Amino acid sequence: MTVSYDVIVIGGGHAGCEAASASARMGARTALITHKRETIGVMSCNPAIGGLGKGHLVREVDALDGLMGRVADAAGIQFRMLNRRKGPAVRGPRTQADRKLYRLAMQQAIEDHPNLVVIEGDAHDIMTREGCVSGVAMADGRMFTAPSVVLTTGTFLRGLIHIGTERIPAGRVGEAPSQGLSATLARHGVALGRLKTGTPARLDGSTIDWSVVGRQTADDEAVPFSFMTGRITNPQIECGVTRTTDATHKIIADNIHLSAMYSGQIEGVGPRYCPSIEDKIVRFGERNGHQIFLEPEGLDDTTVYPNGISTSLPAAVQEMFIRTIPGLDKVRIVQPGYAIEYDHVDPRELDMSLELRKLPGLFLAGQINGTTGYEEAAAQGLAAGLNAALKAGGHDDPYHFSRSSSYLGVMLDDLTSRGVTEPYRMFTSRAEYRLSLRVDNADARLTPEGIKLGLVGSARAEHYQAFEEAVTRWRLRLKTLSLTPNEAASHGLRINQDGQRRSAFDLLSYQDVTVASLRSIWGELNDVPKRVAEALDIEGGYAVYLERQESDIAVLRRDESLRIPEDFDYAGLSGLSNELKQKLSQQRPSSLAQAARMEGMTPAASALLLAMLRKQPLDRVMRVS
Amino acid sequence: MKPPADTIFALSSGALPAGVAVVRLSGPRAFRALEALTQKPLLEARQAALRKIVGRSGLMLDKALVLTFQAPHSFTGEDVVELHLHGSRAVVHAVLGELGEMIGLRQAEAGEFSRRAFENGRLDLIEAEGLAELISAETEMQRRLAVEQSFGGQSALYEGWAQRLTYARAMIEAELDFADEDDVPGSVADKMVQDIRKLQDELGRHLTYARAGEIIRDGYKIAIIGAPNAGKSSLLNALASRDIAIVTEVAGTTRDIIHVDLDLDGYLVKLFDTAGLRDSEDLVEQEGIRRAWMAIEEADLVIHLEEIDSRAERPELPRHKEILWVGSKSDLHQTSLNYDLCLSAKTGEGIPGLRAFIVEKIQGVWAGGSVPTRQRQLDLLKIASNSIRDALNARELEFRAEHLRSAAAALGRITGRVDVEQLLDVIFSQFCIGK
C-alpha cells in the first residue's frame, strides 16, 4: 500500500529539519525521510551556530518561526556577539553548541509538529508522472506519494571520505552515502558538480593540558538568537586558544604529498574561507603560527573540536603534527580528520523558490545546492519547505524572498543567478542593503510576511504584534517630544544652534544619544521596555541612511517584480552583443533585476531588455506584488 | 542567431568638396555591394586596390581606392568596405545614390557605425563616446583628447581608480566580515584611510579638468569688450588676419556679436566681438549690449580694450571673470603700465604677445592629461567623489563601507561593475581566512 503526503522531505540535517517544519507549519501533511531517527539534527562539522552573515540567517529563520534559533538557544554553551563594538548592521550572534543538546532539542522540535511524521529508511528514487514529481521510492520497496518533494542530501550524494590515501564511500563518518539519488538527478539531465569540504580530528579533552592554552570566554550577557527565547539558561563554558608551531609546519610540509588534497586524489573544489591546515601552510606559509580554537563539544562530553586544523593527511601524520601544538603534546585523537567530496547540483538549475526547473515539484536545499554551513542550509530548507507546501496546496505563485529584505533573498538570488565555484557561504558584504538587513530588525522585516503566509504560529504572531505595537507607540511618542537647541544645550547635548526644534527621535541619530540617555530630559522614557528602547536606538541611528537606500530598494523591487518568461527569446533581441545574448540564454535570469546584475550587462543592455519585456504580451510578463 | 538587420553606408569623411571622400559600408551585404559597384571579384581583406566604380547604367562614376575588412576584424565587427572616392559632390552623390538603390542597403543614421561597434563588443561605452568626439574633432587638441579617451587612456585611469577602490573596500570588508579571524588585524581598515583620501584628491583634480574638456571640445571663449571705437573689431581682424567685422570710425557700429573661430596652436578659440557697453536709446543697439553681457558671462577670458590713456570709464565686470586689460592703438600712443598689454591692430605690434598669452591660458587649464568630457561620466564621477568624501567623514566602519559601496557603484557604471566576488578574491588572497 502506498501512503500519500503533501510534502516529503528527504534528509534530517539542518536543511531537512527546517524544510519539514516549514511545510508542517504551513499546514501540509509532511513526511521527513532519514536513515536514522537519532541522527536528526546532528552537527556534522564544528559545534557552533551563527557568526557574521550566518547569524543573520539564523535570525531570519527564527523570524519566520523556524527552528534553528530556538534550538541553538537551548543548546548554546558559549554565546558571543561578534563585532559587538562595531555598528549593529555588522554584528553577528554566535554560540558554541552542545552537540547532544542540539540534536535532542531539534528532534523534540520535529516531534512537536502534529502533522509531521518521521520515516526511517533509504530514499532511493524520485518518482515522476508526466514530467512532474509524484513521490519517493524507498530502497526497501516502500512507496510514498506527494506532489512536492524536498531533497536535502548534504554531503551524502556520492559522498567519498578521504583520509590520506584511504578512501571510504560515506555521507558522514560511519554513515552510508546516498548513491541512487545521484543517478535520479543525472537521469533528469540535471548538471552536477563536485565539491569538497573538510573537518579536523576530534580530540579527547581530558588529555589536553589546559593550563598552557589561552582562553576565550562567553559574553557576560548572552543574547539569544530567538525572539521567543527569554533568557539563556545553559551554563557558559570557555574555549581554549592555541597555535601551530614551526614543528607543526615542518611535519605538514614534509608529508604534504600524503594529503588527499595534494596528492591529486580530490577533484572537488573546496572553500577558500575554510582551508585545510595543508592549504594554510602552502598558501600563507607559517605566519607566526595559525590560531586554533579548542571547542568543547558539550557540557558532559569530553570531546574537543580543534577549530582551524581541518586536514586530509593520514591518521598517523595527523597525530604527529597535532602533538607539536602547545597543550596537545599528549592528546588522544578520538577520530581522525578527513576531507569529503560530494556531488552538488548547479543551483542555476533552480528557480528562486529552489524548485528544479527540469523536474517541477522537486525542491533542493542545503549543501546539495553548493552551499556550506548549517545556517545557509537551514535558511534554504525553510524557503524550500515553504514553497513545497505552497505548491502542494495548489498555489500557483511561489514565494520569493527579495535581496532588499533578507539575507535569505540575497543567498537564493546569488545561488540561482550566478551558481557557485566554491561552496557558498554567507558574508555580510554579499548584501548590498546591509544597513537595512540587520540582526536586530529581522523580526520586523520578516515576521509580518510569515504571518501573512501562514508560516508563523499564533504564539509568535501574538508576541510579535505586542512588541511591534509597543515600538510603534513609543516611536510616535519620541517623535512628539521635542526641544529647542538651547534646551538641548542646557541638558549637555551638543547640537547646531539653528533654532530648529528637534524631536527625541531625531536626537537618536546623534552620536551617543540613546533612549536611555534621554530619560534625564523626559522622565516618561523610563517606561520604555529595554528591547523596545534597543530597537528605537538602532532605528534612530540609521534613519538617515535608510532613507537614502529606500530609492535604490524601490528600483530593485521594481526590477525584481519584472519576471522574464522562462522561454524568452534572447536571440531575437537586436542590439545586444552575441556574447551577452548567449550568456542570457544560458543563465536565464528570472527577473530583470537578476539580468541587470549579470557580468557584461550595461545599463543600455538592461534598458533594451526592459523595452523588449514591455513588448511581450501582458500575460507573459508577470508582475507580482 | 538572427542576422543583423541591414547594411548601412554613409559618407564618413568631412564636408564636400574635398580632396578625398571616404564612403563606408558595414553589414552582411557590404561585400556584395562592392562586387556590384566594381563588377570585379572581391580583393583580399585589408588590401587596398584601385577599382573603377561603375553605376547600373554601365557608366563609370569614379576611380577609387577600395578596402575591405572582414567580420569580426573590423571597426564595427561586421563586414566593412571603404571607398576612397574623389571628393567632388557629384561623384559622391552618384555613388551614394547607387548604394541606396541596392537591396538591403540604407543610409546610416548618425552614430550608427559606432553603435554597431559598441553592440558587437568592439568598443566599450567610454570608447564609443570618445569615438564620437574623434569624428567631430576639428582641431589637433580636440583630436588628442578624443584619442586619449577612445583608445583606452581614460579607461585605464578609471580602471585604476576602480581597482584601488576595490582594494580599499576589500580591506574594510575583511575587518567587518572576518573580525573573528586571527589573520585580519583590527586596524586594517584604518590603514586604508590615507589611500582613500589620495583617491579622493585625484578624483577632485580630474573633475576640475572637466571644464578643460569643455574648452577643448567647444573652444576657449574670449569676449572682447570696450568703449565704442576702442578698436575691438580691428583687434579681432588682426587676430583672425582677415576682415570679419565691418570696421568703421563711427562709434557703435558693431551692434551684433561677431564671432570668429581661431585655431591657435591647435586649440579652438572662439572670439566674440561685442557692441560697446555704453547706454543707448537705440533699441537695436540695446539688444547688442544685452548680448554683449551674455558673451561676457559665458567667456573664459574677457579682453577689455581701450585706447591707451583715453581714461574711459571702465565697466563693472563680474568679479570671478578673468580680465585682460589691453591698451590699443600703440601706434598712436606711448605704451603704458596701466595695462596688462599694449598693442596696435594696425601695425601688428603686441599681437604675437596676446596670442601667446591666450595659448598659455588654455594650457593652464589642460596640459594633455585625461579629462572627463561626457556629462554622463561627469555626473557619475561627482557621485563617486561625494561618496568617498562621505566615507572619509563617516564615524562607523559600516557607514564608511556603505559610502564606498556607492562610490564603487558609480565608478562601476563607467568602468564595469565590481561585485562582491572581486572583494572576496582580494580578501582571500591577502589573508589566511578560516578556522
Complex-level ipTM: 0.85
Region of poorest pLDDT, from A22-31, A198-207, B325-334: B325-334
Tens of pLDDT along B387-414?
999 999 988 899 999 999 999 988 887 7
Three-class DSSP category at A511: coil
- Cα(A468)–Cα(A453) distance, rounded to whole angstroms? 18
Between the ranges A260-269, A339-348, B82-91, B341-350, where is the mean pLDDT highest? A339-348
Asked if pLDDT for residue A327 goes beyond 90, the answer is: yes
Determine the residue among B8, B115, B171, B176 to mutate to test chain A binding: the one whose Cβ has the most chain A Cβ atoms within 10 Å.
B176
Q: How confident is the model at residue B152 (pLDDT cuts 50, 70, 90)?
A: low
As a whole number of Å, the CA-based R_g of chain B is: 29
**Among A61-70, B102-111, B215-224, B376-385, the range of highest mean pLDDT:** A61-70
Q: Is B398:A90 a contact under the CB 8 Å cutoff?
A: yes
Q: d(Cα A411, Cα B200) in Å, to the nearest integer?
A: 33
What is the domain partition of chain A in residue ranges?
A: 3-153+188-194+342-453, 202-341, 458-553, 562-615
Both B342 and B409 in one domain: the answer is: no
Domain-embedded: residue B232: yes
B344 and B234 in a common domain: yes
One domain, residues B353 and B379: no
Chosen domain end from B319, B335, B365: B365
Bridge-partner residues for B258, per DSSP?
Answer: B273
Domain annotation covers residue B139? no
**One domain for residues B230 and B196:** no
**Residues of chain A with pLDDT > 70: what percent?**
95
C-beta separation of B399 from A88 below 8 A: no
Among the three residues B337, B365, B393, which one is the final residue of a domain in this structure?
A: B365
pLDDT at B245 over 60: no
The CATH code belonging to domain A3-153+188-194+342-453 is 3.50.50.60
| Residue A236 banded pLDDT, cuts 50, 70, 90 | very high
- Residue B311 near chain A (CB below 8 Å): no
pLDDT at position B277 is: 66
> Binding residue per annotation — A284?
yes
pLDDT over 90 at A577, yes or no: no
pLDDT at B118 over 70: no
Shared-domain flag, residues B209 and B230: no
Residue B78 lies in a domain: yes
What is the mean pLDDT of the segment spanning A401-417?
94
When CB atoms are compared, the residue of B125, B417, B420 closest to A430 is: B420
**Cell numbers at residue A380, please?**
534554504
What is the reported pLDDT for B248? 41
Report the pLDDT value the prediction gives residue A621, as an integer from 0 to 100: 41
Encode burial over B355-389: b for 16+ CB neighbours within 10 A, e otherwise. Answer: eeebbebbeebbeeebbbbbeebbebbbbbbbbbb
Residue of A53, A287, A604 with shortest CB distance to B177? A53
Is A278 annotated as a binding-site member?
Answer: yes
Do both B356 and B293 map to the same domain? yes
Same-domain pairing of B206 and B224: no
d(C-alpha B234, C-alpha B212), whole Å? 29
For the stretch A98-140, pLDDT in tens is 999 999 999 999 999 999 999 999 999 999 999 999 999 999 9
Q: What is the mean pLDDT of residues A52-72?
A: 97
Phi, psi of B259 (to 5 degrees): -130, 145
The Cα B394–Cα B386 span in angstroms is: 12
- Give yes or no for a contact between A352 and A401, defined as CB atoms under 8 angstroms apart: yes
Q: How confident is the model at residue B115 (pLDDT cuts 50, 70, 90)?
A: low
- Residue B234 annotated as binding site: yes
Strand partners, B223: B272, B302
Q: What is the mean pLDDT of chain B?
A: 79
Mean per-residue pLDDT of chain A: 90
Question: Are residue B232 and residue B348 in the same domain, yes or no?
Answer: yes
CATH T-level assignment (fold) for domain A562-615: DNA polymerase; domain 1 (1.10.150)
Alpha-carbon distance of A385 to A454, in angstroms, equals 13
State how far the Cα of B55 lies from the Cα of B77, in Å rounded to an integer. Answer: 28
Query: Would you state the pLDDT for residue B373?
Result: 59
Q: How far is B122 from chain A (nearest CA, A)?
A: 10
- Specify the 3-state DSSP secondary structure of B1: coil
Structure confidence at residue A620 (pLDDT): 42
Q: Which residues 77-116 of A are in CB contact (within 8 Å) with B?
A: 82-83, 86-87, 89-90, 94
CATH of the domain at B241: 3.40.50.300
Tens digit of pLDDT for each residue in A449-464? Answer: 999 999 999 999 999 9
The angle, 0 to 180 degrees and rounded to 10, between the axes of the packed helices A407-418 and A54-63 is 110
**Do B177 and A272 make contact, defined as CB atoms within 8 angstroms?**
no
Residue of A nearest to B172 (CA): A429
Q: Is residue B45 part of a domain?
A: yes
The pLDDT, as a whole number, for residue B246 is 41
Residue-wise over A399-416: b if at least 16 C-beta within 10 A, else e?
Answer: bbbbbbbbbbbbbbbbbb
Q: What is the pLDDT of residue B250?
A: 45
In this structure, the answer to whether residues B207 and B165 fall within a common structural domain is: yes
Q: Does A614 touch chain B (CB under 8 A)?
A: no
For chain B, how many structural domains are there in total? 3
CB spacing of B434 vs A597 below 8 angstroms: no
Residue A270 marked ligand-binding: yes
- Per-residue model confidence (pLDDT) at position B124: 64
Nearest residue in B to A283, CA atom = B432
One domain for residues B356 and B410: no
pLDDT at A469: 96
What pLDDT does B345 receive?
Answer: 86
- Taking the CA of residue B401 and the nearest CA in chain A, the distance in Å comes to 9
Interface contacts (A, B; CB < 8 Å): 103
Contact call for B435 and A293, based on CB within 8 A: yes
> Where residue B375 falls among pLDDT bands split at 50, 70, 90?
low
Higher pLDDT, A431 or A263: A431
Mean pLDDT of B256-278: 76
Closest Cα in chain A to B409: A432
Lowest model confidence (mean pLDDT) among A61-65, A381-385, A488-492, B372-376: B372-376
Q: Which residues of A touch B387 (CB under 8 A)?
A: none
Q: DSSP E strands: which ranges in A346-452?
A: 362-364
Compute chain A's Rg from CA coordinates: 26
My answer on whether B254 and B357 are in the same domain is yes
B122 is in an annotated binding site: yes
In chain B, what residues touch A427 (CB-CB under 8 Å)? 173, 177, 420, 424
Q: What is the DSSP letter of B58?
A: S
Is B135 contained in some domain?
A: no
DSSP code string of A170-227: -SBTTB--B-HHHHHHHHTT--EEEEEEEE--EEEGGGS-GGGSEEEPPPSSPPPS-T
Q: At residue A267, does pLDDT exceed 70?
A: yes
Averaged pLDDT for residues A586-605 = 77
pLDDT, position A611: 65
Looking at residue A482, its pLDDT comes to 92
* Cis amide bond preceding A200, omega within 30: no
Last-in-domain residue among B365, B382, B404 = B365
Q: Would B1 be classed as within a structural domain?
A: no
Q: What is the per-residue pLDDT for B42?
A: 84
> From the list A94, A274, A427, which residue is nearest B434 (CB)?
A274
Q: What is the largest CA-CA distance in chain A?
A: 82
CA distance A239 to A217: 7
B420 and A427 within 8 Å at the Cβ level: the answer is yes
Containing structural domain, residue B111: 7-123
Of A370-374, A543-547, A621-625, the range with the highest mean pLDDT is: A370-374
Q: How confident is the model at residue A94 (pLDDT cuts 50, 70, 90)?
A: very high
Q: Is the pLDDT of residue A323 over 50?
A: yes
B224 and B341 part of one domain:
yes
- Domain A202-341 listed as CATH 3.90.1150.10: no
Which numeric CATH code is attached to A458-553? Answer: 1.10.10.1800
pLDDT in tens, B277-300: 666 666 666 777 777 788 888 888
Cβ(A423)–Cβ(A272) below 8 Å: no
CA distance B156 to chain A (A): 18
CA distance B151 to B130: 8
Least confident of A10-19, A546-555, B185-194, B332-341: A546-555
Model confidence at A623: pLDDT above 80: no
